[in-house]
Amino acid sequence: MMKISKRRFKNIKEWVKFALAIACVVVFAIFFVFNIWSPVKKPVSVIVPRGASVTGMTNYLYKNNIIKSKELFYFSIRVNGGQIQAGEYEIPRGAGVWTIADMLSNGRVATTTITIPEGYTVIQIKNMLMKVPYLTGDVDCDKNIPVCDLHDGDIFPDTYTIARGTTRLAVLDLARKKMDGVKASFAGAKYPMPLKNWEEVMVLASIVQKETPLKREMPIVASVYLNRLNINMRLQSCPTVIYPLTNFEGDMHGEPLLSGHLKIDSPYNTYTHNGLPPHPIANVGRDAIRAVLRPANTKYLFFVADGRGGHKFSKDYAEHQKNHNVWRGIKKELNK
């Protein structure tokens, strides 16, 4: 075996140390140039238009003191594929040319989060989207495509993370497609008597959704309405009155629902019409759908608010009247 002299071994160690020192300096220099050497003192929004060239955007970034070196930015773009993608970008404080190039090349656009609440109608959702500043375009269209013909029950309420600048119609279509996926996830589910199809499940789920926000109560509320349907008893659900009364918006805007309103002439009014309304009265979440497909096993026919955000359930009208009187007393105290 070849032996290495102590002196030669010492020289090798010195060379290794020197090489490591040089490597550290190079790494530090690259890190400094590409990520620390930044004129961006606070977050800045940059919009890359469709069809924008690398040269055009480089000049824009340099002119607006977002990058310090055109050459380094060109190099960084080339290393990242040589292309930039359209969109709105939120450049963070201290971002160097490498970070900015990586964002623009890989489409790491600024995003916004939109939550569509469960129980909202299509009208309410559209009104909400029109108030979101980071979206573009209108919420209505006249083309022969599904998103132009939305009805309650077509949209899945959820939280969506989307790129800033996304059109409002694209958001609606995203939520519509999500509902298609939810429907597919329940394929093969057995419908409880007397429901015959998915549309009827969605109609009852929309009523359950509007009647209670409590997940634990939904299967019980569903059982009440299914019990009524099975004995041909009218559902007498207030949300089915509010829906046509508000021109299908579903929001009284603080106005009280009066006894006279219960006589409104509409096929949606379950105080004056037997069975289910013709269509869903809101857009529903998974819990409401699941509650209808898997209702609680009860004999309840009535329920009334309990003053604590939930409801009291009863099997007969006499018990219901007692619960209702308690609720009247609670409302009276609340009104004071």
Rounded to whole angstroms, the Cα distance separating 294 from 219 reads 7
Output the pLDDT for position 330. 79
Give yes or no for a contact between 123 and 282, defined as CB atoms under 8 angstroms apart: no
Q: Where are the alpha helices (DSSP H) in 109-266?
A: 122-130, 168-185, 198-211, 218-230, 239-245
The full set of domain ranges for the chain reads 31-105, 113-176, 198-300
Eight-class DSSP state of 271: T
Alpha helices by DSSP H, listed for the chain, are 6-31, 54-63, 70-79, 97-105, 122-130, 168-185, 198-211, 218-230, 239-245, 286-293, 317-335
The CATH architecture assigned to 31-105 reads 2-Layer Sandwich (3.30)
- Mapping DSSP to helix (H, G, I), strand (E, B) and coil, where does residue 76 land? helix
pLDDT at 29: 46
Q: If the chain, 336 residues long, is cut into consecutive pieces of 10 residues, what is the mean pLDDT of each piece? A: 55 62 50 64 92 95 93 91 93 92 94 96 98 95 96 98 95 98 95 97 98 96 98 97 97 94 96 98 98 98 90 92 85 74
Burial of 205 (0-12, 13-18, 19+ CB in 10 A): buried
Q: What is the pLDDT of residue 129?
A: 98
Amino acid 35: pLDDT: 54
Residues 222/296, Cβ–Cβ less than 8 Å: yes
> Given this model, what pLDDT does residue 28 score?
44
The pLDDT of residue 194 is 98
Give pLDDT, residue 333: 75
- Quote the pLDDT of residue 209: 98
- Cis omega before residue 239 (within 30°)? no
- Reported pTM: 0.82
DSSP 7-42: HHHHHHHHHHHHHHHHHHHHHHHHHIIIIIS----S
CA distance 164 to 167: 9
3-state percent breakdown (helix, strand, coil) of the chain, nearest 5: 45, 10, 45
Separation CA 148–CA 133 (nearest Å): 22
Residue with tokens 């308690």, as numbered in its chain:
326
Length of the chain: 336
Measured CA to CA, the distance from residue 210 to residue 205 in angstroms comes to 9
